[in-house]
Amino acid sequence: MTAPRTLTADLLVLGWGKGGKTLAASTAAAGRRVVMVEQSSLMYGGTCINIGCVPTKTLVHAADERREGDDPQEYFDRAVSTRDALIGKLNDVNLHMLADHDTVTIVDGRARFVGPREVEVAPSAGGAGLAEHLLISAETVIVNTGAEPALPAVPGIDGPRIHTSTSLQHVEPFPRRLAVIGAGPIGLEFASMFRSFGSEVTVIARGERILPDEDDDVADAVREVLEHEGITILTGTSVSEYVDGPDGVALQGTDDGNGAPLVADAVLVATGRRPATADLGLEQAGIEVDEHGAVVVDDQLRTSAEGVFAMGDVHGHGQQTYLSLDDSRIVASALTGDGSRRLSDRVAVPSTTFLTPPLSAVGLTEHEAREASHEVRTVLAPVAGIKAMPRPKTLGDARGVIKVVVDAQTDLVLGARLFHVDSQEVVNLVALAMRAGITATQLRDGIWTHPSSTEALNEVLGRLS
């Protein structure tokens, strides 16, 4: 057997996610040799660009623009075509972000550790010219392989009508009836999207309510909006088997209201994601993982193997592309900076679930704050009743609520849940205020543009009790 061809580098990055590509580009700009390994050319740029944040939000926007008379299949096909054209452009931009550097080598293939800071890459379909196994060693290695859908072991889950959040974006034909398994952010986002596209949507949750990590009043407000849109929500329900048939897939363990199992044209399984570490050969490099398969890292994202770092979803410390970007700052600080940046520096990290309207969150829930022994002041304000917030009304969507939790002793904001138009922008201001130690009173008395959603803070924070 012919020995693999060898390649050496200063930096080897496994996976083209946000953190990895950012560090790779800055390292290459400094004149150092970089090898980027990506298993598929369709994933240049990582999950967010190709199958996650950007394509799904493109579809959310298209769904919101659909008119009542638009044929669901035709409209969905046009929306997917627009999505694909955009993603193709972004994929190419990300390719040239690295390929245009003389010191960067891009390898398409499946990587597996064979020793400390050494991987063997096998050719993959659609690869950029890799015709044989390649052995790559580097001074520094970044594990940046992301996460993947975690499917429960339920009979029939490998059926042709069962989808992940990736495959559902190109579902064919368009499902007249869609069942969504899971009532977390991903499941609800797709449920809202496909309802707007014209599907009859049923959300199935094992727990007694949706959004189990949120306070009851916030979760109830979200449920009210979803149900008003025509989404059926079944809680306390588990699917025991998926039975494919000529009229769709029957979800055993559910009830369609007539004593028979619910039947759907397509099923989205959105029950969580797991770090993509299987078959990486991490044990060959002495890289420790936890019970969930996540790479164990220290406060500077160093793994248990010298010279190996982990970034992004693969280490299990939050699955957002902006956290992966911050990971690149931490690793760059450790490698070429003063080493001062830490994972533990992160506070008040915001997030948004792109329902219609979007649900944004930062900091503690009221329940979490009380569990942490804070004495709190809270406010829960329906958006429709906030007089100083005309922006949602001008857009014809005054649904939702705002909830803020404040420390009664310090007047500092402990957390906020913003369920309204523009919340994905307002939450960033609240998060910045929390990081900077700005008090609730200062936010209440802030001067904000009009009409905007931000100015709701003037009125809402004046209602704290």
119: Cβ contacts below 8 Å, ≥ 6 apart: 12, 14, 37, 111, 112, 113, 135, 136, 137, 141, 281
Rounded Cα gap, residues 48 and 226, in angstroms: 25
Burial per residue of 390-420, b for 16 or more beta-carbon CB atoms within 10 angstroms, e otherwise: bbbeeeebbbbbbbbbbbeeebbbbbbbbbb
C-beta separation of 330 from 341 below 8 A: yes
Summarize the chain as % helix, strand, coil (round to 5). 35, 25, 40
| Order of strands, sheet of 177-181, starting from the edge strand that comes earlier in the sequence | 162-163, 266-269, 177-181, 200-204, 232-234
Can you read off the two tokens belonging to residue 48?
């967010």
Active-site choice (170, 292, 367, 450): 450
- Catalytic-residue membership of 367: no
Rounded Cα gap, residues 61 and 84, in angstroms: 14
Rounded Cα gap, residues 24 and 28, in angstroms: 6
Helix ranges restricted to H, 311-436: 321-336, 366-371, 391-394, 423-436
In this structure, what are the phi and psi dihedrals at residue 161, rounded to the nearest 5 degrees? -100, 5
- Residue 82, H or E segment: helix 72-99
Rounded Cα gap, residues 417 and 358, in angstroms: 10
Can you read off the two tokens belonging to residue 397?
């969507």
Reference 94, options 60, 142, 54; nearest CA is 54
C-beta separation of 392 from 326 below 8 A: no
Q: How deeply is 102 buried, as exposed, middle or buried, from its count of CB atoms within 10 A (0-12, 13-18, 19+)?
A: exposed
Give the residue numbers marked as catalytic: 450
